[in-house]
């Protein structure tokens, strides 16, 4: 049985970026859910959460390069 799930155009674009040729949206969503479930039971779930936060910070331009850190904190 098939069910339609409405998603915003932005979510569809994000799913399309993940989707491989020949893969269904159901397979993409199933993999995302499996990855989510794995994070919840992982010993490293705290690290996974921090990695996601770091990626978000980077995308917002809130991260510094190694050279910027050295210069800012006078490490050399």
Tokens of 3: 């069910």
Q: In the chain, how many H helices and how many E strands?
A: 4, 0
Tokens of 1: 């049985």
pLDDT score, position 41: 57
Provide the whole-model pTM.
Answer: 0.49
pLDDT score, position 10: 94
Q: Quick check: 39 and 45 in contact, CB under 8 A?
A: yes
C-alpha span between 13 and 11 (Å, rounded): 5
Q: From first to last of its 76 residues, what are the pLDDT tens digits of the chain?
A: 788 999 999 999 999 999 989 999 999 999 888 877 766 555 566 777 788 888 888 888 888 888 888 888 888 7
């Amino acid at each position: 049985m098939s069910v339609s799930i409405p998603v915003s155009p932005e979510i569809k674009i994000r799913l399309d970026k993940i989707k491989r040729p020949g893969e269904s949206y159901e397979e993409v969503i199933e993999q995302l859910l499996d990855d989510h479930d794995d994070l919840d039971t992982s010993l490293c779930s705290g690290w996974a959460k921090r990695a996601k936060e770091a990626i978000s910070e980077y995308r917002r331009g809130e991260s510094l390069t190694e050279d910027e850190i050295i210069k800012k904190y006078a490490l050399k």
